[in-house]
Amino acid sequence: MFLEPHFKRSGWIEVICGSMFSGKTEELLRRLRRARIANQEVVIFKPALDDRYATDRVVSHDANSLKALPVKDAAELASLAGNYDVIGVDEAQFFGEDLVGVLQDLALKGRRVIVAGLDMDFRGKPFGPVPDLLAVAEYITKLHAICQQCGNLATHSFRLSANEETVELGAKEAYEARCRTCYHLGDALK
């Protein structure tokens, strides 16, 4: 006698984290493109405040991009997630703590959720919801940049300006990837 299985497709959360210039967005875009090749329905979200390269695209520092939906918060993301198979989220650190619950709900609904974000701010402290996402994710990828001072593996984002606000949008004009030692040497290396 054949028994019908009583399960539905399981979802999960993948987190891609690391410092500035480590390739987080590039890896997110790669995974989403592969899902599209597999004929999966894919959507990518970005925080509306991130308009560095484009307002309606996720763009890597290498200028690769995908069309994206800018959202103001996790609640708006949840309302637009629809029936997509794969949901990408870039710059997760700019969303509030409620992002964690929203993404867990999507995973429980059988969705593959892929998130990219900074794990530490420019002070070297845990950044936004990313640490909590790391705790609940099934898959974690930590990427490293190359220290722009000494060439070792970089794990920190060093801010070049004196601005003390936690959020300062910028790229190479505002930040430098640094290893632990060069990060702690700080402005002495400027």
Q: Is 91 assigned a catalytic role?
A: yes
* Contacts (Cβ under 8 Å, ≥6 apart) of 14: 31, 112, 113, 114, 115, 137, 138, 139, 140, 141
The catalytic position among 14, 27, 91, 176 is 91
Nearest to residue 69, comparing CAs of 57, 60, 59?
A: 57
Annotated catalytic sites, by residue?
91
